[in-house]
Amino acid sequence: MQIKVLLGSLVLAALCGCQSPGKDLVKDNFTFSGSQLSYALTCADSALAANPGNQWGFPRLIPRTEEKDGSLRLVSSHDWCCGFFPANLWLMYEYTGEEKWKQAADRFSWSIEDAKFNAGSHDLGFMIYCPFGNAYRITGDDRYKEVALQAAKTLSTRYNPAVGCIRSWDFNKQRWQYPVIIDNMMNLELLFWATQTTGDSIYHKMAVSHADRTLENHFRPDHSSYHVINYDTITGSVISKETLQGYSHESVWSRGQAWGLYGFAMSYRFTNDPKYLTLSRNIADLMLNHPLLPEDMIPYWDMSDPAIPNVPRDVSAACIMASGLYELSKALPIDGSKYKAAADRILQNLSDGYRAEVGTHKGFLLLHSTGNHPSGDEVDVPISYADYYYLEALLRKY
């Protein structure tokens, strides 16, 4: 009888994603991350000393990924991923309180400060709010706040009242009049925060309009998302619905679903609008109950790829999902436990099967992310934003 009870407890622990007795998942992963990020700083400094050149006329300063040849890809302050590495250092500082992480985070953050004026990008939330917003939240230093507020002002210039959205890409103008991508939900946090911080409602109104239009037009009846909605700039009507970085226009591109899950849970935090919470929950249910979701819950890069299971995973999608699921669970106090349990399982499985060995892969934390599969770029590699949402999810679990 005692053996049956013990076996039953072990099965329940496995199903719930519970940690092994005595193992502190969060502490273990931050200890690992501290060692690995120390190595990352060494690799970054070595690459910088080698004069890596420019990107779009700006110096390459920030680690983004490891190239297939094992070299470190550095990007400039105008790359949409530039904010994640310094933000990772800020999260390390938040957890440890160690001054060395603050100094490193400060150094890399200020190296990309000029992005706050980059009116050519819709990704200023990623680029500026992740490092400087976290820095302000953690330290209370107004210098960081002012940088993030300028970024919000800059981002607001990309808003078109006829469309009701922040414009995403400026390229391929012969193909799209006004493209809006699901990823852009994440950058609304910068606008919501700007109103919360300044009292100026204009940013909040823009963010709500963008979220409402995205809810209205991006999603299919099963709650899966298109990647790109192309709007008419005069009438604001939808011209086309597409998916650029997924398998096909109608496919379930995993990172896109993760952006939506997280983005609408975050939007609920700032608005208390139940329709955002409902959509986030529906996206979560779609992904967690998808018949092709692997047993370890780390999704394939696109859940509609007909070559499954012989296709790459996307660890970055799993990390974004985990962090978003923690936020969703907190917004659902009555029945949010299943979403927390799912996030716990994802984190445990990432920790068990996807971490890099310390002192390898240029200091990145997690392996097997997929960036832009159709273009063959960043396929089955470590990527800085996977590491960021991994650390954020660990802090949310903590």
Could you identify the residue written with the tokens 């209205």? 216
Using an 8 Å Cβ cutoff, are 169 and 176 in contact? yes
Catalytic residue among 79, 106, 183, 302: 183
Catalytic residue flag (residue 183)? yes
Using an 8 Å Cβ cutoff, are 19 and 25 in contact? yes
Catalytic residue flag (residue 123)? yes
Extract the tokens encoding 114. 């000029």
Measured CA to CA, the distance from residue 153 to residue 161 in angstroms comes to: 16
Over the chain, what HEC string results? Answer: CHHHHHHHHHHHHHHHCCCCCCCCHHHHHHHHHHHHHHHHHHHHHHHHHCCCCEECCEECCEEEEECCCCCEEEECCCCCCCCHHHHHHHHHHHHHCCHHHHHHHHHHHHCCHHHHHCCCCCCHHHHHHHHHHHHHHHHCCHHHHHHHHHHHHHHHCCEECCCCEECCCCCCCCCCCEEEEHHHHHHHHHHHHHHHHHCCCHHHHHHHHHHHHHHHHCECCCCCECCEEEECCCCCCEEEEECCCCCCCCCCEHHHHHHHHHHHHHHHHHHCCHHHHHHHHHHHHHHHCCCCCCCCCCCECECCCCCCCCCCECHHHHHHHHHHHHHHHHHCCCCCHHHHHHHHHHHHHHHHHCECCCCCHHHCCECCEEEECCCCEEEEECEHHHHHHHHHHHHHHC
Catalytic residue among 79, 123, 302, 314: 123
Measured CA to CA, the distance from residue 115 to residue 76 in angstroms comes to: 9
Extract the tokens encoding 176. 């799209």
Largest CA distance in the chain: 72
Extract the tokens encoding 130. 């992740």
Work out the number of other CB atoms within 10 angstroms of the CB of residue 335: 9
Chain center to CA of 10: 32
Active-site residues, by number, are 123, 183
